[in-house]
Amino acid sequence: MDEPAVARRALPLLDLTDLGEACSEAAIDTLCRDARASAVAAVCVWPHYVGRSARLLSGSPVRVATVINFPAGGDDVERAVEDTAEAIRDGAHEIDLVLPYRAFLAGDAATARAMVAAVREACDGDRLLKVILETGTLRSAEAIDAASRLAIAAGADFIKTSTGKSPVSATPEAAEAMLRAIRDRAGERIVGLKVSGGLRTVADAARYLDLADRIMGPAWVSPRTFRLGASSLHAALVEAARPSGAAR
């Protein structure tokens, strides 16, 4: 593995994330400073920090993402739409929506489909909708495939592996099932994959980049089609991308 090359490729694909319980205004200030310095794709923050993040990142290409229906993945469609509208008013460019995965697993695909479609409608303009499947709870390749196809059909711009709050987060097996569902719809519109949860090393980033290259082709990966959602991965990528001999 060529670590510097992987790191340089991965940094522009990063959704630099702070969804910790101890998140603070000072932490958001640091997050946005780091995001500007590294030219990542986006920051992903709690809804009440969207406005602050948008102000700090004004004039930069770094986008602001936030989470909706997170992390529980409830089935209140109206609340999800209201929270989405508020986040957009505060300056969010991207919405990471948790699919009502428990309802889906119980056989209630209609509620899951209705929530994605309703939030998609609320995401006007160039705002991206990423649908979190919580693949560690869905578990089987069949359930992950079915949830992927439902989310895509209902309007998702991205499908995302995990909240990072469940015992099992992203796995290569889940990402492969999701990429195959995306590939099957490739001629209809652009749909991306976001791998999130448990990514900490350059080798982790390389594993998922290699998987995307193998299934979708090496020209497919870009910030519009592929994201890595992480907090601890950022430092590893910055260190690996630093030219040899450069000061720390």
- Residues marked active site are found at 96, 160, 194
Give the separation between CA 205 and CA 7, rounded to whole angstroms.
Answer: 8
CA-based end-to-end distance of the chain: 22
Tokens 């209201």 belong to residue:
82
Give the separation between CA 120 and CA 163, rounded to whole angstroms.
Answer: 19
Residue pair 62/43 in contact by the 8 Å Cβ criterion: yes
Residue pair 228/14 in contact by the 8 Å Cβ criterion: yes
Give me 207's structure tokens.
């594993």
Whole-angstrom CA distances from 191 to 29, 85, 89, 201, 226 are 31, 22, 25, 26, 9
DSSP-derived 3-state class of residue 33: helix
Instruction: Give the length of the chain.
Output: 248
